[in-house]
């Protein structure tokens, strides 16, 4: 999974990352789905432990082009995980009140508490993506935000938050197919917005904006992973594996009971 990491300080080019990649995973989809199920069981256990221990906070950031699969990934990776300790925060076009504050105001409020996992479906990165591509603020405003984001994430990390950031990388052709599938299926029409077609015309600008995000904001305490996402099963496998490995490395323990439980007999 290391090959998908954006190493802090190293420059990547998105055009050199293959959205179709399945890494070293030779088993194909069938094996992939089995592996995801096993990882999902582990994730359920680890999440329970995280919640019981109540010490760590976990933040998972998901970013992607339209149809990139954020929703599908959340559904599959977190399938069956106790909803008590897991939250999804979706960031849409900011409200008037949100716009009247600094761009991190609405974000900070949604960060995980102790024992929680929070998944960001879109995030503060929109403020250097859609906002930059459409010029909603001047360049001298958005260009300072990379450093501001790094500082913000450092504050979270130094206060006990484990941060993982995933860019779901699809190809332009794959997006076309997925948009077409939404058009062809009446039960998917609700997901289709004409605005998505306008955004698609800006594909190149978005790729450039993503490249800057990945190169300027991947750090040891908040690394970016570029997840090849044309194949949904590989996308879910990569996210599951990185998440499970990261949680395992926290070396969590169930807390000791508050009282001495030895020799207790329940009548
Ligand atoms: P998604 O596309 O994430 O699956 P959705 O289709 O349900 O969600 P949309 O309204 O299409 O909902 O998505 C949210 C929209 O809000 C996106 O177009 C995104 O670019 C926009 N957005 C998010 N954050 C900001 C921001 N800070 N400034 C401007 N636009 C933003
Ligand atoms: Mg959308």
Give, using CA atoms, the residue closest to atom 14 of ligand 1.
92
pLDDT confidence of 225, banded at 50, 70, 90?
Answer: very high
Q: Nearest 5°: CA angle at 67, between 147 and 41?
A: 85
Q: Is the pLDDT of residue 47 over 90?
A: yes
Give, using CA atoms, the residue closest to atom 12 of ligand 1.
92
Report which DSSP code applies to 112. P
The per-residue pLDDT for 25 is 87
Task: Dump pLDDT digits (tens) for 98-153.
Answer: 999 999 999 999 999 999 999 999 999 999 999 999 999 999 999 999 999 999 99
Q: How far is the CA of 90 from the centre of ligand 2 (A)?
A: 11
Domains and CATH numbers, the chain: 2-173+203-248 (3.40.50.300)
Mean pLDDT across 39-51: 98
Tell me the pTM: 0.97
């Amino acid at each position: 999974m290391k090959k998908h990491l954006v190493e802090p300080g190293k420059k990547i080019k998105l055009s050199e990352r293959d959205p179709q990649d399945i890494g070293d995973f030779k088993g194909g989809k069938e094996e992939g789905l089995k592996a995801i199920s096993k990882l999902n069981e582990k994730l359920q256990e680890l999440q329970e432990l995280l919640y019981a221990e109540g010490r760590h906070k976990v933040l998972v950031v998901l970013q992607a082009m339209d149809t990139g699969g954020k929703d599908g990934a959340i559904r599959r990776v977190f399938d069956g995980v106790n909803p008590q300790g897991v939250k999804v925060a979706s960031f849409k076009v900011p409200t008037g009140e949100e716009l009247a504050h600094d761009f991190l105001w609405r974000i900070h409020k949604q960060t995980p508490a102790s024992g929680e996992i929070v998944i960001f479906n879109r995030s503060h990165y929109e403020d250097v993506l859609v906002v930059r591509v459409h010029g909603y603020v001047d360049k001298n405003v958005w260009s300072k935000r990379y450093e501001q984001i790094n500082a913000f994430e450092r504050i979270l990390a130094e206060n006990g938050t484990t941060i993982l950031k995933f860019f779901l990388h699809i190809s332009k052709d794959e997006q076309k197919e997925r948009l077409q599938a939404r058009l062809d299926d009446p039960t998917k029409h609700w997901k289709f917005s004409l605005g998505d077609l306008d955004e698609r015309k800006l594909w190149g600008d978005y790729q450039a904006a993503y490249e800057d995000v990945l190169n300027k904001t991947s750090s040891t305490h908040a690394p970016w992973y570029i997840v090849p996402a044309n194949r949904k099963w590989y996308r879910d496998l990569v996210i599951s594996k990185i998440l499970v490995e990261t949680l395992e490395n926290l070396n969590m323990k169930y807390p000791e009971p508050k009282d001495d439980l030895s020799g207790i007999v329940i009548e």
